[in-house]
Amino acid sequence: MKLNKPNCLESSVSNLSSFCFCLYHILPYINQDKYSYEEVMGYTGHAFHINLRVETINKWGPTMYDWGGVITQGLHNLGFNFKAVGYSGYHLGVPNVLDDAVRLIRDSIQRGVPLIMWEPLNSEFGIIYGYNDESQMLSVVDATKEGEIPFDRIGRGADTPEFFVLSISEVIEKNARERIKGTLDLILKYGLQDSHDFWEFTTGLPAYETWIKAFNNKSVDIQGNAFNIQVLMNARHTAVRFMDKFKDEFKEDNYHTELIEKSKNTFSEVVNLYKKLETLFPFSNDGHPTESRVSNEAISILQQIKEAEESALLNLKQLREHLD
């Protein structure tokens, strides 16, 4: 059985946050395309997220975050319940893990809803939109590729042994106040502090200190550094656009909208600072992060970004406290 292929390959939205990219392209199947890409990024917290690999700042930071915490709360903020089969690493010893995933895929496709899967074709999230029991193959697509993979390819990607398949199971009416509070809680949890469960990654404001330390130690991964800059610049640009929509949640409440406007303006400064970083480390040739002059300038910019983000987040914290 196969659904109409999601419009990923011709998409006009960024895939730098691949989970949100996939979620955005599933929305029409559950009659929720009222949400813009900016709202998907904002309400799920991804627009405000930073997650870095300690020491090397490599390409895995933007994808190896706390899926359980971020994805669960983010989907609930949008009013979605879900079912998932997921393990950190492919655990052959876990009974029925593959059978459970295939059963979830069949059920979801039969309901007309594609699923999100980790690394079907590339080292990012992609979409399952069909299955064939006879050939034991799945129809999959992501931002750059489409194709078929065997059932037992789930959790056995080329780069990571992460087992993850998710289906939106239910759309519920979300109370606006709950959505607002849940969004702010998610932004602040992964913004102000290091909330990661895994020692090799770091989140929030402490992540900037980790980045600076990597520059000082000359341990920055050249390509990973440039990639993280692209991801975070896109995320913060999306955060700015989301803030304009988020203000609508508060109608004519001047106190709350002023706090959001202050935060938005500060995130706009953050975007400009990331653009400065991008000139040092263009994604086309990745730059020279081990050169002292370049690394010193990068450290100065990162310190400014950290200070600006702290200011923006504290405005949102003040907003959240006022809602209690």
In a domain, 23, yes or no: yes
Q: Please spell the DSSP secondary structure of 41-54, one letter per residue.
A: HHHTTGGG--EEET
Tens of pLDDT, residues 8-31:
999 999 999 999 999 999 999 999
Q: Residue 222 pLDDT more than 90?
A: yes
CATH code for position 304: 1.20.120
In a domain, 2, yes or no: yes
**Spatial contact of 159 and 119, defined as CB atoms under 8 Å apart:** yes
Select from 109, 141, 171 the last residue of a domain. Answer: 171
Q: Residue 174 pLDDT more than 90?
A: no
Q: Residue 196 pLDDT more than 70?
A: no
Domain of residue 214: give its range.
Answer: 48-65+175-323
Average pLDDT in the chain: 93
Residue 137 three-state SS: strand
In a domain, 43, yes or no: no
CA-based end-to-end distance of the chain: 48
In a domain, 315, yes or no: yes
In a domain, 72, yes or no: no
Tens of pLDDT, residues 92-137:
556 678 899 999 999 999 999 999 999 999 999 999 999 999 999 9
Same domain flag for 296 and 158: no
pLDDT given at position 197: 61
Select from 149, 171, 193 the last residue of a domain. Answer: 171
Same domain flag for 128 and 277: no
Distance CA 260, CA 222 (A): 35
Same domain flag for 126 and 11: yes
CA atoms within 13 A on the CB side of 43: 24
Distance CA 21, CA 40 (A): 9
The per-residue b/e assignment along 135-171, b for 16 or more CB within 10 angstroms, e otherwise, is eebbbbbbbeebeebebebbbebeebebbbbbbbbee
CATH code for position 125: 3.90.70.10
In a domain, 41, yes or no: no
Phi-psi region of 200 (alpha: psi -120 to 50; beta: other; left: phi over 0): alpha
Query: pTM for the full model?
Result: 0.95
Same domain flag for 113 and 193: no
Same domain flag for 112 and 135: yes
Q: How many domains are there within the chain?
A: 2
CA atoms within 13 A on the CB side of 224: 19
Tens of pLDDT, residues 52-84:
999 899 999 999 888 888 999 999 999 999 999
pLDDT given at position 126: 97
The whole-number average pLDDT for the span 292-317 is 97
Q: Which of 104-108, 149-153, 205-209 has the lowest mean pLDDT?
A: 149-153
